[in-house]
């Protein structure tokens, strides 16, 4: 069997894992929050974090720390609303990440 790529398709991209990836895979997801519940709350919760540094509830923070899909949704939302609160997208995301780390600790 040959290692050649007969269809000239791109090879699978391999990424290095760092401590954040490993932590996300092994995080204790209690207290539980479903993706549906997260999605229902994400707008108001992210706005509270970005606008007023309101801490995340433990279930919400743990869920964002453990679920890459919901985390990405929250990050995208933080970037979108940053300007409304005179923040750069990077500043808004930094506030969100700090809140996630604080809630999941």
Sequential pLDDT tens for the chain (105 residues): 445 555 666 677 776 766 665 555 556 555 678 999 999 999 999 999 999 999 999 999 999 998 989 999 999 999 999 999 999 999 999 999 999 998 866
Position 31 scores a pLDDT of 62
Position 72 scores a pLDDT of 96
Looking at the chain, the number of H-run helices and the number of E-run strands are: 5, 0
Annotated domain spans of the chain: 30-104
Position 24 scores a pLDDT of 57
What is the rounded distance in angstroms from the CA atom of residue 64 to the CA atom of residue 56? 10
Tell me if the pTM is above 0.75.
Answer: no
Q: Which residue has the tokens 């990050």?
A: 75
Give me the DSSP letters along 10-35: PPPP-----HHHHHHHH---PSP--H
What is the rounded distance in angstroms from the CA atom of residue 33 to the CA atom of residue 59? 6
């Amino acid at each position: 069997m040959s290692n050649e790529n007969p269809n000239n398709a791109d090879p699978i991209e391999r990424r290095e894992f760092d401590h954040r990836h490993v932590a996300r895979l092994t995080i204790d997801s209690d207290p539980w929050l479903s993706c549906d519940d997260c999605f229902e709350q994400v707008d108001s919760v992210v706005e509270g974090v970005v606008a007023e540094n309101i801490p995340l509830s433990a279930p919400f923070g743990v869920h964002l720390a453990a679920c890459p899909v919901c985390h990405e949704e929250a990050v995208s939302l933080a970037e979108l609303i940053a300007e409304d609160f005179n923040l750069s997208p990077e500043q808004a995301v930094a506030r969100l990440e700090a809140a996630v780390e604080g809630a999941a600790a």
